Amino acid sequence: QQQVRQSSQSLTVWEGETAILNCSYENSAFDYFPWYQQFPGEGPALLIAIRSVSDKKEDGRFTIFFNKREKNLSLHIKDSQPGDSATYFCAASAYNQGKLIFGQGTKLSIKP
Amino acid sequence: DAGVTQTPRHEVAEKGQTIILKCEPVSGHNDLFWYRQTKIQGLELLSYFRSKSLMEDGGAFKDRFKAEMLNSSFSTLKIQPTEPKDSAVYLCASSLGGSSYEQYFGPGTRLTVL
């Protein structure tokens, strides 16, 4: 049973467009939702995170939109650059649980 | 500050061998995680330590996989005996713990079992 689900295995957008990556979850106890970015040959790195008390978190070109009622969230990457081509993982954790539950990842390709 | 260090970066083993992967977490971090990453299964949690105590041992991975924290700055993952299906990237991550959930990942060890 996949507790955290990412709707697309892969996504391709043109340079300059907004890439939208979607994620949904099942456990209502989850209250922390990070997105990790992974380049080939490297480990994942934290990109941006949101807590369930917020519905939006912005950091430069990256924005998380969070819908607690629908149990879904999305990562928007504005003005996509070729350097944003990577695999993006949505993850979730419950309060004081410590561990993260990861989605399967979305491989994003930006076409110049 | 040094990040998470993993050695070796690549390992090739024959079926049935014992291999030991090593991890040094970020200094001062209390939580340590071992993951296996494959294209099909994604990121699977193998073990989770909090302040050197084993919190989770990954259920299905119990029989041939054993993670240990020898001290707060060093952990090993032993796979014994290895099987071809163990071919994957093994990632180590650490976090401060408590209310801080941010995990810092190492570069991983790519294991190939022939």
B88 CA: distance to closest CA in chain A (Å): 12
Cis peptide upstream of residue B81 (ω within 30 degrees of 0): yes
Name the residue with tokens 């989605």: A103
**pLDDT per position as a tens digit, B73-106:** 999 999 999 999 999 999 999 999 877 788 999 9
**pLDDT per position as a tens digit, B40-75:** 889 999 999 999 999 888 777 678 999 999 898 999
Q: Tell me if chain B has a CB within 8 Å of the CB of A96.
A: yes
Cβ pair B90, B111 in contact under 8 A: yes
Instruction: Identify the pLDDT of residue B100.
Output: 75
Residues in chain A: 112
Q: How far is CA A35 from its chain centroid?
A: 4
Q: Which residue of A has its CA nearest to B58?
A: A99
Three-state DSSP class for A47?
A: strand
B113 pLDDT more than 80: yes
- Which of A1, A88, A100 is the best mutation test for B, with the most CBs of B within 10 A? A100
